[in-house]
Structure formats: C-alpha cells, structure tokens
Structure 1
Amino acid sequence: MYNQRIWNKVDQYKSNHTNGLRLKLLKSSKNTHFVYVLCTEYNIVLFKDADYTKPYKYLPINFEYKFQVLRTPPLLINPSLSDKKGENVVSLGEILAIRFIREDVEKWSEFRGSVSDLDQLRQFLGLKMNQIGFHQYFKVYKKIGKGSFASVYLAQRIEDGTKMAVKAFCKNAVYKEENGKEGLINEIQIMRILDHPNLMKLYEVYETKNSIYMCLELLEGDQLYGLFKTKRSFTAQQIHSIMKGLLEGLNYMHNKGIMHRDLKLENILFKEPDNCDSVVIADFGLATKVDQKPFLYTKCGTPGFVAPEVINLKDDQLSYGSICDVYSLGVILYILSTGQPVFKGKSYNTIVRRNREAIVDFQTEKLRQVSDNQRSLLIKMLQADPELRITSKQALKHEYFCAYYEEEFAQMYTDDDPHLGEMLVKLNAEYIRLDMEKLKRTNDEDDICKTEDLKVDQSQEKNDFLKIIMRTPVITGRTKSIESILYLYLDSPLNGFQSPNLDPNTHHIQQIQTKWMNPFVLQN
C-alpha cells in the first residue's frame, strides 16, 4: 500500500526530545509559510511556535526517506554539456532549497531559507539520511575494486575536493540475497554512528533508483593481511602502535554499544603506507548493536578468529556481548607476535574444530621472545571464558601500554635525571633485542592464509558445528582490489561512469559462491 503523505501526524510522535538543531525555514506549499524545525537524533519535527512547544508534523530519519539539495546552476567546463555530470562541473552553485522525498510518494516537501541555515540542515542530514544527486556532486576518476554486487571507485567530492573511495552497489542484486537489504541498511546505520580516527569513516550515502553509493574514507595504506603475505615482520614498537590504535577504536565502538564480530587481518587497514599509527578497523557488515535482539546474524565471523562463545553457540536465541571482539583482537596480537595462526590447520574443518576447542599455545618459543607485558596482555585477551577475559577498556590500561612505554618514555624527557644516559642505553638495547628477534622470524612453519580460501571436507559439510556465517551478502560481493590505491593518481575523470549493474558473469559467480558458501551458512 502506497503512502499518501511525507509527514506524519504529531499524535504519532512519541519522543519528548527537544535537543537538536533548530532552524526557522520557509516551507514551500500552496500556503507557503515559516515553520520551526527541530532536527533530533531520530526525527525531523515541525513546530508552529518559536518556543518549540507546539509540534504538529514529523518524519523519522530512516531508509524510507531521502533528501535532495537544490542549487543555482554550477560553473561548467563546457556549458553545452550536461550539468548533471560531475566531470563537467568546475564548482557547485549556491544552495537554494532542500527537499524531503519519501518512497512511494509522488510529492515532495521543500524548505527554503538562508544559505547558512540550509547548509546546516544539509550537513546534519548528510550524516543521517540518504541523498540524491551523486553524479552531479562527484568527479569519478577510476575503478579501484570490483565484486559481483559492487564496484569501488576513486572519486573526488566537488564541493571541497575531498578524495573518497565510493562503493557502488546494485540494489537489485543485493536486495535479492537473503537478508541482503537488511544487511546493507544495518552496515550503513552502524557506520553512521561511528566517528573515530581508528575506524573507517563513512562520509555520506547517495541513492538512485538502481544504486546505492557509500562514500568512504580513502585508505592509501595496505591490509594487514597483505603485509603478512609479503613476509613483513613488525617491530615491538610497531606492534604496540597497531594494538593501541585498534583497542582505542574498539573501545569507542563498545562504548557506543556496538560490536564488530569480524575482526581479522583482512579487516585491518592503514590510512598511510608504512605508518602503523594510521591503523583502522574496516568492514562493518557483521557489526551489530549489543542490545539489538535478536541479532540479524548470530553465529557469525571468520573461523580462526571467532570467540569460543560465538563459534560454540548452539541456540540462535542465545546471545553474547562485545567482549567477543577482544578475543578476535587477541588472535591478531598473537599473529603479530609470533607470525603464526593461533588455530593451525590446512583445512577449514580443522580450523573450525580447533577454534571451538580454543586451546592456545602460549609456550611457543616465539612468545618467549616478546616482553612480559605483551605476553600478559595476550593471555588476558585470549581467555576462553568471556567472564575472565579482559575488556577493551581494561586492555588500554594494561601495563603493556602504561608501564613499559609511557612511563619509561616520560622519564626519558627528565633532563635533570642523573641516570638518564644509563636508562637510554638500557631502553635502546631492549628495543634492539626485541626488534632483531622479530626481524629474524619467518612464516615458513605456519603460513597465514584466509580461512575462506581453505578447502572444506565434503564429508563434513552437513555438520552444524562447521556452519557459520562468514559474510553478509554485501560482504560476499565485497570488492577485490584492482590496483593498489598507493599508486593511484588523479588523472582525467572516468567518462561514461554509470550506476553499477550486474556483471555479465555475475550469474556464474553467484553459482560458485552459493556452492562454496553453503557449508558456512547456519541453517535452522
């Protein structure tokens, strides 16, 4: 049944929130008049009075609504060509109005006002609601990734020159997948909540009839997984920087009541090449709010990294907490420290079984080469019992971050300390010892590989304990890099850029994926 109106009656408005962005705007209609607009976390509310005591209409901020920015004509490179294509736009025109659009409603609701007020409203909506007009607001330069459901493009926002990685989804393909639409909406909603330097940033989302464009932070560094595959070793200082950044990002998420549920080497990236301080957590396709019960996916993650309480879950009605992420991050610390996987195996089945058993070898020779504080933190993060496991907040206060580094470095800057020279020599010697041990290591004994690339023992495909959702449909169609972003440069915009459609080979790809993914999907 189609909706007839954009705005809902005020008697359906349940919230008493009065905090938020307040604006006086001109509502265009048959009887154009001024209204007082309140923008809250979840609603746009219209009031009749300047004291904001008489609400009369509202609309919820969700995927059912979109907004469009109307502007004066832009400055064009070639005036004879279209002003709807970003590659022909030099600069955008001045903002004139903002329209709200609701699915299945032919009419729209338009607001006008001062440029300053309209820009404030646009900035607010850009963080919370899908908008229309991607092609006229971005210059698209080249494709940098491709998958069966999505492609990633290097693009530049015309308004401020910000370079972004734009992930373009074919709505028809994604929505046909089981929980495809719900999964994509969930990922976008989660990313809109997050704003932290160690988490991949979502700037804004655009939507057309056939496509959704996620405008993401452009990361010019490598994947952590890629660095391991090139036999990269990490020094003690680098591991410290990586873990501190990851824990700070994770603690921020947990404070927001969100858990990632798929921390692994492939989802750890760097903003800049050779800069461990620029580490970020990416891919929020399996993330969820802790209190959002039931979860869209319950038994999920990547075997080899999943917390025991998740991979051993027998009842979908049961739940777990964000402490599961700490275990996954502990697995990453183990790999950084030893160059080896925690749960070794040449087959998917073996890794799942060992992951379920959660028996970790803390006596390996390579762990004896790291500092006592690093080993202590690792053991606390990899406790099989979530009740005994350290939290992300507690981990940041662990001696690994406080005693060994911060206190000793602080003392180094005490110029009048008579033992400064002796302490510097001792500290530098310790760094050299730890770093040399790391540089001597190789991964020849136990190679690091992607769990999903391992073979599944066909005789055990129907074993329920082996079935775990490793990817949402969106992640199944995640892109593979075409070329390293490190070597990208801004040349001429990509002419003829179109909305993403299904690749001609998609049907064949989907058949392969379906055959491969069946053993991983938890079936009730």
Structure 2
Amino acid sequence: MGCVSNSARKGAIVKVGKVEEVKVVTTTDDLQIQPRQFVIHKEADILKDYTMGPKLGSGAFGSVRIGTHKITMQQRAIKTIKKSSISEDQFVKDKFFAEVEVLKTADHPNIVRLYEFYEDQLHFHLVTELVKGGELFDYIVSSKNLSEPVAAHFFKQILSAVNYCHTNGIVHRDLKPENLLLDRQDSSATVKVIDFGTSTIIDQSKRLTHRYGTSYYIAPEVLKKNYDEKCDVWSCGVILYILLSGKPPFYGETDADILARVEKGVYQMKGATWDRVSSNAKNLIKSMLNMDPRSRPTAAQCLESTWLTLMPDATNQDSIFTQDVLENLTNFRAEKKLQHAVMSFIATQLMNKNEVSQLAQAFRALDTNGDGKLSKDELLAQYKNTMGANQAEEEVQRIMKEVDVDGNGFIDYSEFIMASAKRESLLSKQNLENAFRLFDNDNSGKISAKEIRNILGREVISSDEVWRDLVGQVDQNGDGEIDLREFTEMMLKLF
C-alpha cells in the first residue's frame, strides 16, 4: 500500500503548519540540517523523474500508484490529486495541504515519510515511502484476534507515533486500522501511520470544534464538537480493543446506531475471548475509553502503562542491540556542515529500506518513553551497560554534540539513522553518485552555491557569501563549484 488506504475519505480542515521564526544565517556554523529541507516543492512534470507503475488505490480526489525513481531506482508511492477536484472547495484544498505540511515535518519511524511534492498544470503529487504490507485492519481480520505480546508490539508503535504527534502539537483525528499500514504481513511488522488530511495543530487556548473521524473510532466529545488531542487516545483505545478481540466495542447496523452507542460509552469485555485477556490490558482499554477526556490518560501515560511496560517482546529484537550500532554512534563525526547535509540527505532519501528498518527497531527500543526522539538520559542508560558511568557520560556528551545536527537537544529519528548506519553502506559509491546527481539540479556535472542554497536555504535568511563559503570548503580547484571528485573525496574523508 502507499500513503492512503482504499477506505473512503470524508471531511476537510484548515491548513496545518507550525509558524516558525525565520532563521537568520550569517555563517555556515549557523546552518541547521533538518529532513524537511529535503522535501522540495517542485513545479515540474513528475514523469521526468519517475516511471509510473500499477495503481494501488483510488478515492474521490485522486489515486495512488507505485512510482520508480529514474536515478535511484527506488520504488515509492505517489498520491496524485487532480487540481480541478479540489480547487473549488477551499476546505478540501486545505485538507490536502495539511497532509503535505504534517508529513514534511514528521520524523518518526512509525509515520510514513514524505520524500517529494510535485505540482504541474493539472495535478499535485505526493511522493511517499512505499509500505507493502497492507492495512493493519486486513491483518486483524486474517488473524481474528492477536496474542497480547503481538498486540502490544503493534500498539506500542501506534502510541509512540501518536505521542510524537501530540508532543509536536498535531492531532490526527482519524486514527483507525485502515490508516495504519504494515511494512509486511507479519507479527513483527513495523506500523506506519498515514492519512493526515484531517489533522490539525493544537491550540491550547481553544477547544477543537470541527467534527471529523470514522463512526467506530470517533470519540464522544468529538460528536459534541468540543474536544482536544485526547480524542486520539479514545481512538487508540478502540483499536486496542479490536486488536485483542477482533471486534469493535461500539457496533450497529448503521452509522447512527454506532454513534448512539459511542455517545453512551457502553461496551462489554465478556465471553471466552476476553477471559483470555489480562486484567492489565483490560484496565488500559477502560482508561482510554473513559467518557471524561480530562480523566483519560495521555498517549505518553499509556506508553507507561503496566500492560506495555511488563509485556515481553514478541519479536525477539534483543539482537538489534549489537555492539555495531553503539560503535557507529561512537565513531560518528563530520567536520564540515556540507558533510552533515549530505549524510542526512542520504539517510532520509536514499538508504536501503531493509537497513533502515533494522535501525528503526533499534531506535524504538532506545526510545524508552516513546516520544520519537532520543534524550541524553536514554543514551546514557544504554552506554552504562558497556562502560563505566564517567566514560559513558563523556561519550554521550560527545555523541550529542556530533549527531544533534538541528541543535534541539535530542537525537531525532533521522539523525539516529544517519549516525548509526554502517559508514560503508551510507557512503557507498552508488549513494554518493546518486546524491551528487540529485544535488546537481541543472545536470551540469557540478554543484553550485545556488543549488545548495535551493536545498538548504529555502527557510532561512542569509547572504550569498554563506553559500559560497560552504562550497569553498570543498572546492579544491577554485572554480566556485563542486565536481563529483571533490564531492566524493569530501565524504570519503569521513572514513
């Protein structure tokens, strides 16, 4: 599957996007590298860069197809929207741009990644990672009901993504198994949250009043048009109920019947299926389906529940904590800002999907509080297992300084992938050549200061001198541009 499921989409919202201060860059040291910088809005024909493959699904406003990038040969999901289908309805148009903005900003292993955004005369195109395992809903149906360890494996990933969204001010508003994709149909699969078209930014001074969601999963306070981010927690409670029983807590012949049951909040956990479910799991569901959102736990509190913290790992992923991952973090270094930028670009845009999947599992295990980023304390807890406390403190301080490229005080998901990947894999000849070709936007065979600015400087205020200086640090022959040899030598010095 791609970035949307086959289920029907309804509703519209206002445009989503955090208002950030425009950064002023006076030297190359002031540059901050973030994955969103590489998601470029291209006003071009997508067929110049992608070969279109089979259709994955379609909806009221467009379709999703498999696309193959002509340079990297990577397969991706391409969601195409006809401009004519949304141009006359501002709410629907804003719904589309909401998804663009949220996915552009999101950096979490359980949220589908946006690579590029194209616009031509007739269409918008969202290019996202291709998630091939189908919907979690289909897996539940085929499995009927899951064992608690397997359900916990899926549910912790869902909660982590929701907690990340809430921490960053985003409410999803349409969480359901159809909007949760698996990278494979397997009990150890990775979950990807999709379809952020109904999401919005939380304003703590106001309550949300627009009614969105799907009948089985919608929170009762949403029906009253007076709610906050806790509506997502209710939806997660419904999803957990279904994971463990194979049936929804609120059901009926029609949507009206279902919503009437939701408004009453009455459900049952009785019968042979529920007799096999632990009291810890039932207690978590009850807390999440609390009719009073003020008494309902946050996503972060759910991650700390007894059920999740005591549940054994069903996927046997202890082996991912190899010395290699820790050593790669320890050995990570980048002397130049452009080296950082290139490694971040490769990590987010070009890396082998299987290797990323393995590193994502390591990231989730290190991220003990499930907030989607690694703190100093989380790293310390791991390094103290392999070295003394003082040495671990010194090592983690150095890692934070080297790896925290955007300077937010944490190691974000993409920063972790960049720093923990095998250097020979990240900086393979193929990856370096592909990165060079993608930076070289005009196909001149050289990267100019203008081309670097188009990628790294679109959200900052800076002088031309900053970008010339960035090129000058690498430009060996003094022609004011970077050729493939200079580019490759700059990166291979990291070995």
* Among 65, 75, 84, the residue aligned to 1:172: 84
Quote the Cα distance in structure 2 between the aligned partners of 1:293 and 1:182. 22
Structure (1 or 2) with the greater strand fraction: 1
Instruction: State the shift of 1:211 in Å.
Output: 0.7
Instruction: State the shift of 1:207 in Å.
Output: 0.5
Residue 290 of structure 2 is matched in structure 1 by 383
The answer to whether the 8 A contact 2:218-2:235 is kept is: yes
| C-alpha distance 214-254 of structure 1, shift in aligned 2 (>3 A) | same
Quote the Cα distance in structure 1 between the aligned partners of 2:266 and 2:280. 21
SS at match of 1:305: coil
Residue 260 of structure 1 is matched in structure 2 by 172
Quote the Cα distance in structure 1 between the aligned partners of 2:105 and 2:20. 20
* Among 289, 292, 299, the residue aligned to 2:201: 289
Structure 2 alignment gaps of length 5 or more: 1-18, 319-495
| C-alpha distance 213-362 of structure 1, shift in aligned 2 (>3 A) | same
The answer to whether the 8 A contact 2:51-2:68 is kept is: yes
Larger CA Rg, structure 1 vs 2: 1
Q: Give the TM-score, by structure 1 length.
A: 0.52
| C-alpha distance 216-296 of structure 1, shift in aligned 2 (>3 A) | farther
Instruction: State the shift of 1:200 in Å.
Output: 1.5
* Among 291, 295, 300, the residue aligned to 1:393: 300
Cα distance per residue 1:496-524 (max 9 Å; x no partner): xxxxxxxxxxxxxxxxxxxxxxxxxxxxx
The answer to whether the 8 A contact 2:145-2:245 is kept is: no
* 1:369 and 2:276 correspond: yes
Cα distance per residue 1:311-338 (max 9 Å; x no partner): 123xxxxx42211101101001111111
The answer to whether the 8 A contact 2:145-2:244 is kept is: no
* Among 210, 213, 217, the residue aligned to 2:122: 210
User: Which 4+ runs in 1 deviate beyond 3 A?
Assistant: 14-24, 123-126, 128-131, 228-233, 292-297, 362-365
* 1:272 and 2:184 correspond: yes
* Among 194, 213, 231, the residue aligned to 2:106: 194
Instruction: State the shift of 1:23 in Å.
Output: 6.4
Structure (1 or 2) with the greater helix fraction: 2
Instruction: State the shift of 1:292 in Å.
Output: 8.7
- What are the equivalent positions in structure 2 for 1:71-470 lying under 5 Å apart? 125-127=37-39, 129-177=41-89, 179-230=91-142, 232-291=144-203, 298-313=210-225, 319-405=226-312
SS at match of 2:87: helix
Quote the Cα distance in structure 2 between the aligned partners of 1:295 and 1:21. 40
Instruction: State the shift of 1:276 in Å.
Output: 3.8
The answer to whether the 8 A contact 1:134-1:206 is kept is: yes
CA RMSD between the two structures: 3.2
Cα distance per residue 1:212-241 (max 9 Å; x no partner): 000011011021222344454322221010
Identity of aligned residues (%): 28
Instruction: State the shift of 1:171 in Å.
Output: 0.6
Quote the Cα distance in structure 2 between the aligned partners of 1:156 and 1:295. 43
Q: Give the TM-score, by structure 2 length.
A: 0.55
- What are the equivalent positions in structure 2 for 1:474-513 lying under 5 Å apart? none
How many pairs were matched up?
Answer: 299
Quote the Cα distance in structure 1 between the aligned partners of 2:118 and 2:103. 14
| C-alpha distance 23-383 of structure 1, shift in aligned 2 (>3 A) | same
Quote the Cα distance in structure 2 between the aligned partners of 1:382 and 1:21. 51
The answer to whether the 8 A contact 1:126-1:205 is kept is: no
